[in-house]
Amino acid sequence: MLFNSHNVRSYLIFTGLAFAARSLWSQSVLAAYVYITESESPTAVGNLTGAMGLAQVLASFPAGIVADKYRRDSVIKASLVVGFGSLIVTSCAVWSSNYYLLLSGTSMYGAFYGMAYTSGEALLSDSTPDGSRSKVLTRKQQVQSFGTCLGPLVAVAMFAGLGNEWTEEDCEWVILAGQGVCVPALISLCRLDDDRAGEGQEEEEEEEGEVEGEDLLDVTGGEGAEGKEEEEEEEEGESDDKEEVRNRRVPIIIATSDLISGLASGMSIRFFPIFFYDNLGLSPIVVQCLYIISPLIIIYLSRLARRISLSRGRCQTACLFKWVGITSMGFMLLSYDRNCSVYLTLFLYVLRTTTMNCTKALTSSQLYDCVKKSERGRFTFLESVNMFSWSGSAAVGGYLVGEIGIVGNFLVTGTMQLAATMPLLALFGLPSEGEQAERRRGSSGRRRRKRRTGNSAKGWREGEGRGLSEPLIKNP
């Protein structure tokens, strides 16, 4: 079973704990804290996020190379040293209200995440059989979304006890609590093990073999059967050559789309809490409720998206949901500009956020299906580059907010997110995951049929040889 794999189960636990901690201190409270303490400077918010992203990409590049060449779990264990250091430095920075020390602490956290994410995602892919990655990555996205809503739940309880006001002291307590929740998340990474990457895959292959074996019992030998197998092998070889050429461009196209999308999202995502606080006048508890509701809806939509993708294709489904999200973004800004109900604006925000973020598992699984095992660490590095573009563009977003306002920044974001879906149009011809599963079963069946045919023909020839030298019925 897929989720009985030691590494799959361990990485899902880490994902849930890590995003629970991250959503508690970093998702909305950190931006508000910096905005308050740095004289309402959007540039300070953007620079902090940009430094975190830069550290992440600088750490993830060598981590991906080392993870591919040596062991992935060794890189993960090394990341723990950086991770625990980041918790100490960030806590000291908040306790002393030192912005530059906070900049150092969050940069260390970015380096930790770059190392752990690059190696952990590659090990997760190694531990998942072909044809099942979208299922595992969808489950990971659901666990991530569930963890993301736990952090705001804790923040709601804390803000309710502290007075439900955006104050420096209240934000400090919430950030410090988030550092404490990070500790079990880091400890859970110690369970990941390269030597257990094959667990669960053997059972899947045996079950598939048993099902296919039932259809292969009627096997005949002879030159005709062998000739037919040779023809099938030639056709399969030509198909494999075409598939290899196509597989070279799939990761590049998906990475390009993710890069543009990351740049767009980074310019705005850190400024939504400020939009709620400064433009809409929402209290901390109401803002945290938005961050609770959205991940819960993403859990459902990610399952729905995967079901649709089985027949319609992964890239087609991803584009469909993203187009709904981009349209919702436009109507959200229109409702704010026309002074419509705040509840309508918030509804459109939730619709935009959930549809834009529910299909990551689909494009990631499409990418990993086209990448060799020996190169997955380096391609996971591309994910960190995308995260850097997401974080690095936050600095650009801070500049845009100062120049054209927060609404103008959101308009630029929506335009770039639409552009990010354009490269995926080139992949609309790829077979759906259901069609790929049928092809794998057919290819596996031909290989088994050839082996059985060869063994049967060999046994028949040996029987004929024995028949020439031995009587069929021996005298007693």
- Residue 375: the pLDDT is 64
Span 257-304, pLDDT tens digits: 988 888 888 888 889 989 998 899 999 999 999 999 999 999 999 999
Whether the per-residue pLDDT at 241 is higher than 50: the answer is no
Would you place residue 433 in the very low, low, confident or very high pLDDT band (cuts 50, 70, 90)?
low
Domain CATH number, residue 101 = 1.20.1250.20
Residue 229 lies in a domain: no
- State the DSSP string of 221-283: -SHHHHHHHHHHHHHHHHHHHHHHHHHHHHHHHHHHHHHHHHHHHHTTGGGHHHIIIIIS---
- State the DSSP string of 142-204: HHHHHHHHHHHHHHHHHHHHHTS---HHHHHHHHHHHHHHHHHHHHHGGG--GGGTTTTHHHH
Q: With contact defined as beta carbons under 8 Å apart, do 267 and 412 qualify? A: yes
- Residue 421: the pLDDT is 95
Distance of CA 66 to the CA centre of its chain: 21
Q: Letter for the amino acid at 88?
A: I
Q: With contact defined as beta carbons under 8 Å apart, do 351 and 325 qualify? A: yes
- Residue 250: the pLDDT is 86
Q: With contact defined as beta carbons under 8 Å apart, do 175 and 94 qualify? A: yes
Residues of the chain with pLDDT > 70, as a percent, come to 75
Q: With contact defined as beta carbons under 8 Å apart, do 221 and 457 qualify? A: yes
Q: What is the mean pLDDT of residues 199-227?
A: 48
What's the structural domain count of the chain?
A: 1
Least confident of 111-115, 200-204, 256-260, 292-296: 200-204
Least confident of 121-125, 243-247, 381-385, 415-419: 243-247
Residue 315 lies in a domain: yes
Please tell me which of 108-112, 130-134, 149-153 the model is most confident about, judged by mean pLDDT: 108-112
Q: Letter for the amino acid at 129?
A: P
Residue 419 lies in a domain: yes
- Give the whole-angstrom CA distance, residue 177 versus residue 67: 32
Buried b (16+ CB within 10 A) or exposed e, 211-232: ebeeeeeebebeeebeeebeeb
Residue 440 lies in a domain: no
Whether the per-residue pLDDT at 141 is higher than 50: the answer is yes
Q: With contact defined as beta carbons under 8 Å apart, do 141 and 361 qualify? A: yes
- Residue 221: the pLDDT is 46
In terms of C-beta density within 10 A (0-12 exposed, 13-18 middle, 19 or more buried), how is residue 468 classed?
Answer: exposed
DSSP-derived secondary structure letter, 313: -
Residue 393's contacts (CB-CB under 8 Å, 6 or more residues apart) are 50, 262, 263, 264, 265, 266, 267
Q: State residue 131 phi and psi, 5-degree precision.
A: 90, -10
- Give the whole-angstrom CA distance, residue 285 versus residue 380: 36
- The whole domain housing 126 covers 2-188+238-433
Q: What is the mean pLDDT of residues 205-216?
A: 45
Per the structure block, which two tokens stand in for 391?
């974080």
Would you place residue 408 in the very low, low, confident or very high pLDDT band (cuts 50, 70, 90)?
very high
Residue 21 lies in a domain: yes
Q: With contact defined as beta carbons under 8 Å apart, do 76 and 120 qualify? A: yes
- Residue 216: the pLDDT is 40
Cα–Cα distance list, 350 to 70, 326, 354, 422 (Å)? 43, 12, 6, 24
Closest CA to 401 of 388, 410, 389, 414: 410
Q: Letter for the amino acid at 44?
A: A
Whether the per-residue pLDDT at 394 is higher than 90: the answer is no
Q: How many CB atoms lie within 10 A of CB 131?
A: 18
Rounded to a whole number of angstroms, the CA Rg of the chain reads: 27
- Residue 387: the pLDDT is 60
Residue 469 lies in a domain: no
Closest CA to 2 of 196, 200, 202: 200
Q: With contact defined as beta carbons under 8 Å apart, do 147 and 19 qualify? A: yes
Per the structure block, which two tokens stand in for 64?
């991906």
In terms of C-beta density within 10 A (0-12 exposed, 13-18 middle, 19 or more buried), how is residue 28 classed?
Answer: buried
Would you place residue 352 in the very low, low, confident or very high pLDDT band (cuts 50, 70, 90)?
very high
Would you place residue 88 in the very low, low, confident or very high pLDDT band (cuts 50, 70, 90)?
very high
Residue 203 lies in a domain: no
Residue 468 lies in a domain: no
Q: What is the mean pLDDT of residues 86-106?
A: 94
Whether the per-residue pLDDT at 226 is higher than 80: the answer is no
- Residue 468: the pLDDT is 44
Whether the per-residue pLDDT at 350 is higher than 70: the answer is yes
- Give the whole-angstrom CA distance, residue 35 versus residue 46: 10
Please indicate whether residue 125 or residue 409 has the higher confidence score (pLDDT).
Answer: 409
